[in-house]
């Protein structure tokens, strides 16, 4: 049976991976938002849709990074 310290270390490692995954997903959302923004400039017929999608994806990007930052703060707090 793992000790409390081993459990904490395993949890912290999982949190590191979770934070990294959140940032990766956030970066993917930002790239998709940029693609919609570029398409909005190229194709005026779908401009409103593309800009709405870009705003939504950019919001998701920011949200994922904010959650990742909160997870990192928790990690730092418990790694001391």
Structure letter (DSSP) for residue 46:
G
For residues 75 and 62, what is the distance between their CA atoms, to the nearest angstrom? Answer: 20
> At residue 80, does pLDDT exceed 80?
no
Structure confidence by residue, pLDDT tens digits, 41-66: 999 999 999 999 999 999 999 999 99
Average pLDDT over every residue of 26-52:
96
CB contact at 8 A, 66 and 38: no
Q: Provide the CB-side half-sphere exposure for 30 (13 A, CA).
A: 11
Q: What is the mean pLDDT of the chain?
A: 95
Phi and psi (nearest 5°) for 2?
-70, 145
Per-residue pLDDT for 79 more than 90?
A: no
Name the nearest CA neighbour of 30 among 64, 72, 67.
Answer: 64
């Amino acid at each position: 049976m793992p000790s409390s310290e081993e459990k904490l270390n395993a949890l912290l490692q999982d949190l590191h991976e979770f934070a990294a995954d959140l940032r990766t997903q956030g970066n993917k959302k930002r790239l998709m938002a940029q693609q919609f923004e570029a398409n909005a400039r190229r194709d005026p017929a779908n401009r409103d849709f593309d800009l709405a999608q870009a705003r939504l994806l950019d919001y998701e990007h920011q949200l994922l990074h904010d959650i990742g930052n909160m997870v990192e703060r928790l990690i730092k707090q418990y790694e001391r």
